[in-house]
Amino acid sequence: MAGRQDGRILNVRRDDPAMAEQARPADGPALSETDRRISDQEQAGTLVIDTNNRFLYYVQGGGRAIRYGVGVGRPGFEWAGVKSVSEKKEWPDWRPPAEMLARRPELPAFMAGGPENPLGARAIYLGSSLYRIHGSNEPGSIGTAVSSGCIRMRNEDVIDLYERVKVGTKVIVI
């Protein structure tokens, strides 16, 4: 990422040809009262995922957070709880779990990381669960409830978030 004088951050990944240059705000917008309560209750660096409203908040402290749009679990695959980031991977390989392969036998048992991979540009693994925060090769799915429980983000957004979070980061899914 490269900073600019106008206070914006550019996601520029010269090693990542699938990513286009895109301006993103350097800091989160002023928060609504609901958002402010989330932000004020949690330490800076915490992730709060509001599945009903389909937003992920990276808490910055001081009443501010960066808000990202997300896709969430479809009916029957919703979940809530507290996890922590256990691992992070760039262009992760995908191995659908046995349960998913049973529901959708047309899926491959393995897919190497890359632009066609459903996990997208980055994956942030949540504890020992099968759930992840990851990019998507279907950006139109952001803002919807279509996943098998993972949190989907636009590739540009998951790259930005990936650079901000560390292994051990607290993740609250509400």
Active-site positions read 134, 150
Confidence of residue 93 (pLDDT cuts 50, 70, 90): very high
**Which is more confident, 35 or 161?**
161
What single letter denotes the amino acid at residue 36? R
- Enter the pTM of the model: 0.80
Q: Collapse the DSSP code of 129 into the 3-class scheme (helix H, G, I; strand E, B; otherwise coil) and give the result.
A: coil
Confidence of residue 1 (pLDDT cuts 50, 70, 90): very low
Tens digits of residue pLDDT in 114-132: 999 999 999 999 999 899 9
What single letter denotes the amino acid at residue 89? K
Give the single-character DSSP code of 150. P
Model confidence at 6: pLDDT above 70:
no
Looking at the chain, the whole-number percentage of residues with pLDDT higher than 90 is 72
Distance CA 31, CA 50 (A): 14
- DSSP codes of every residue in 12-42: --TT-TTPPPEEEESSPPPPPHHHHHHHHHS
- 125 near 85, Cβ under 8 Å? yes
Distance CA 152, CA 69 (A): 9
